[in-house]
Amino acid sequence: MEDYDIGNAFRAIEDELIASMIRNMKHHRAWEDDEGFHWEQWQALQLKALDEYKRKNQKIYGRRFKDINKSIEAAIQEARSEGGMDQEIKILRAVKNGFKGSKLSKGAVAEFFRMNDRKLDALIRATTHDMKRAETAVLRMANDQYRKIIFNAQVYANTGAGTYEKAVDMATKNFLSAGLNCVEYKNGARHTLADYADMALRTASKRAYLTGEGEKRQEWGIHTVIMNKRGNPCPKCLPFVGKILIDDVWSGGSRKDGPYPLMSSAIAAGLYHPRCKDSHTTYFPGISTPPDDKFSRKELAEIEKKGRREAQHQYAMRQAQKYDRLYKNSMDDENRRKYRSLTDKWKSRAHDWNLSRFTEMLQDYNNGQKDIISHWSIQKNLNKSEIGKQTVEYAVGHPELNINLCYKVDVPEGLLGRQDKNDIYIYASKTRTIQKTAETLIHEITHHKYDIGGNQWAECVCRAQELKHRNMTDKLTSQELRDIIKSVKRDYPELKWR
């Protein structure tokens, strides 16, 4: 299960806990006669329903939490393996270009691996322990909120709420506005279980991936890395972007490895904070392109502007989620209409912000090419066709995607792009033109959209989408489809059809 899927699983549980609570409120209405509502009898019924709610949730979600926690451990272990494999490929390419690594003795490597095993085990234990605490907290908060609603509904009714539905809506409003924000950070900010899980898993998986990368560097005796320069670095990471660092955290480096700052010092100063999107790659002295750690005033202003836009987009998303919860779980028809309107309004704003964010999703990894393709020109090209517009819509709807435009990167002959889970690489030095870059992006995003790959049929599907964009059409002729199949069989003879 991917980090993104685990977050969605927790989000679904939160929605179910709230929906179950509201169903009980609808099912056990307060009895009303000429004397008014009989709240005492209603409260007795609801307290009985609360006891059943607690028992049922503990049984159902206790099992689901166990399954999710197993997935968390597997995801962290897998991230470490992926980091090692990806790094080995990069090192072997560097060897082809002249890098002469000094491989360590088997004993030294084994000791380093044992130390990293202990670190990773500690990371897994800490992550799952914190997750279990958060899982317990979400069930406890659901119970507490249910109890508050039972007693507050009568209070609001006595102050003139009018109907049973309005009284319950007033009692649930603050709770539904915030959601089950059961996790409190040190700074006092409160977050939902799904939001906390997203942060914790992204952080843990990234550390595990960097552990796997570092182990391979240690094997080859190289400890220098360079922080990648991208278009929208985190403010805390900005001072280190484009700089060479000695990785004493994951690769076993030390001050003896050169006149560069230590990774541990950079981390202490804010690098690789929770939810950080920045990354580093191996720096091979004499082979890697010298670092570019300078930002022009224009670039810094653009980074600041992107940061503001990102904050506005996140706010719109939170508002849309808030009013959607209120709409789905309010009982009074008038309130539901009001919240439906506000949900649509904020979803529309979030969608508009999303579309404007597409160009910000594209990150340049440039090893020295002067003429690069502007992100705006790629979006303009994509907007020429229906399939291109759908590609933009899909990308902005999946913020977990990392789209990288790579320049002067060593890749196999003929490879224009690659999709690896949520990472998409477009080798722009090979695609060259705006049109071909847009087509390649459509191709790789199609792999992600339909979760297909590794066979000739998948390549045919992706090439068909490319051609639809090129021809600006929704349909292809029989001859065009036959030509695609023929070209794929020629280019990928080693793959099975399906």
Dihedral angle computed from the Cα positions of residues 188, 193, 196 and 201, in that order, rounded to the nearest 10 degrees: 160
Same domain, 148 and 21: yes
Angle at 230 (CA atoms; ends 225, 232), nearest 5 degrees? 130
Dihedral angle computed from the Cα positions of residues 324, 330, 333 and 335, in that order, rounded to the nearest 10 degrees: -70
- Name the packing angle between helices 39-96 and 106-158 (round to 10°): 160
Q: Is residue 361 assigned to a domain?
A: no
Is residue 291's pLDDT more than 80? Answer: no
Q: Is residue 362 assigned to a domain?
A: no
What does the block give as tokens for 335? Answer: 């309130």
Same domain, 104 and 194: yes
Same domain, 416 and 453: yes
Distances (CA, A) of 38 to 30, 107, 154, 171, 243: 6, 77, 9, 17, 70
Same domain, 18 and 150: yes
Of 263, 294, 325, which one is at a domain's C-terminal end?
Answer: 294
Q: Is residue 260 assigned to a domain?
A: yes
Residue 166 confidence (pLDDT): 92
CA distance linking residue 111 with residue 109, whole number of Å: 5
- pLDDT (tens digit per residue) in 341-355: 999 999 999 888 877
pLDDT averaged over the chain? Answer: 90
pLDDT: which is higher, 139 or 96:
139
The phi, psi pair for 467, rounded to 5°, reads -65, -35
Backbone dihedral region of 221: left (phi > 0), alpha (psi from -120 to 50 degrees) or beta? left
Same domain, 240 and 206: no
Q: How confident is residue 100, by pLDDT bands cut at 50, 70 and 90? A: confident
Q: Is residue 179 assigned to a domain?
A: yes
What is the mean pLDDT of the segment spanning 44-69?
93
Q: Is residue 336 assigned to a domain?
A: yes
Same domain, 160 and 259: no
Residue 460 confidence (pLDDT): 97
The phi, psi pair for 183, rounded to 5°, reads -105, 125
Of 256, 273, 294, which one is at a domain's C-terminal end?
Answer: 294
Number of domains in the chain: 4
Q: Is residue 206 assigned to a domain?
A: yes
Residue 104 confidence (pLDDT): 59
Residue 2 confidence (pLDDT): 62
On whether the pTM is more than 0.85, the answer is no
Residue 3 confidence (pLDDT): 62
Same domain, 255 and 389: no
Same domain, 12 and 160: yes
Q: How confident is residue 1, by pLDDT bands cut at 50, 70 and 90? A: low
Same domain, 108 and 131: yes
Question: Going by DSSP bridges, is the β-strand pair 402-407/362-366 parallel, antiparallel, or unpaired?
Answer: parallel
Same domain, 30 and 170: yes
- pLDDT (tens digit per residue) in 151-171: 999 888 888 767 889 999 999
Same domain, 200 and 251: no
Residue 415: which CATH number? 3.30.2010
Domain boundaries, position 69: 3-213
Same domain, 13 and 92: yes
Q: Is residue 197 assigned to a domain?
A: yes
What is the mean pLDDT of the segment spanning 440-454?
96
Of 152, 180, 213, which one is at a domain's C-terminal end?
Answer: 213
CA atoms within 13 A on the CB side of 4: 8
- pLDDT (tens digit per residue) in 115-131: 878 888 999 999 999 99
Which three-class secondary structure string do you get for the chain?
A: CCHHHHHHHHHHHHHHHHHHHHHHHHHCCCCEECCEECHHHHHHHHHHHHHHHHHHHHHHHHHHHHHHHHHHHHHHHHHHHHHHHHHHHHHHHHHHCCCCCCCCCHHHHHHHHHHHHHHHHHHHHHHHHHHHHHHHHHHHHHHHHHHHHHHHHHHHHHCCCCCHHHHHHHHHHHHHHHCCCCEECCCCCEECHHHHHHHHHHHHHHHHHHHHHHHHHHHHCCCEEEECCCCCCCCCCHHHCCCEEECCCCCCCCHHHCCCCEHHHHHHCCCCCCCCCCCEEECCCCCCCCCCCCCCHHHHHHHHHHHHHHHHHHHHHHHHHHHHHHHHHCCCHHHHHHHHHHHHHHHHHHHHHHHHHHHHHEEEEECCCCCCCCHHHHHHHHCCCHHHHHHHHHHHCCCCCEEEEEECCCCCCCCCEEEECCEEEEEHHHHCCHHHHHHHHHHHHHHHHHCCCCCHHHHHHHHHHHHHHHHCCCCCCHHHHHHHHHHHHHHCCCCCCC
Residue 161 confidence (pLDDT): 65
Q: Is residue 374 assigned to a domain?
A: yes
